[in-house]
């Protein structure tokens, strides 16, 4: 019963973090901050959800597959975020700056 409760806590926390990340994507002002919100919450959300699923699966081949899925996501999600940010920067997309930062940059 304790494992079921822990599993549901991880699943609910992962789902809530996914929702918070979605709100961050909607609310942040430019591409780079939105990408940061998506990249950070995507990896942690996947960790929590897959951890909850792994607890439900127990010590089985399914849990091993879930661990491999997380390992794949752990490396590919930050790499994809970096590649997107790098491509945006090389294409000339500049981050939004507030007035103080813009004035300091021109000095």
| pLDDT tens digit sequence for 51-103 | 999 999 888 899 999 999 999 999 999 899 999 999 999 998 888 877 555 55
Looking at residue 58, what is its pLDDT?
Answer: 86
Residue 78 CA to its chain's centroid (Å): 8
Domain interval for residue 32: 2-106
CA angle at residue 23 from 17 to 26, to 5 degrees? Answer: 145
Number of structural domains in the chain: 1
Q: Which candidate, 18, 68, 76, 78, places its Cα nearest to that of 46?
A: 18
CB 70 within 8 A of CB 46: yes
Angle between helices 31-57 and 61-90 (to 10 degrees): 180
């Amino acid at each position: 019963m304790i494992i079921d409760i822990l599993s549901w806590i991880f699943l609910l926390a992962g789902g809530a973090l996914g929702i918070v990340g979605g709100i961050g994507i909607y609310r942040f002002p430019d591409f780079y901050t939105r990408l940061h919100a998506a990249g950070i919450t995507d990896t942690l959300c996947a960790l929590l959800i897959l951890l909850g699923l792994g607890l439900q699966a127990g010590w089985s081949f399914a849990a091993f597959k879930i661990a491999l899925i997380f390992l794949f996501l752990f490396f590919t999600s930050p790499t994809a975020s970096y590649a997107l940010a790098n491509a945006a920067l090389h294409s000339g997309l500049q981050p939004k700056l507030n007035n103080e930062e813009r004035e300091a940059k021109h000095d």
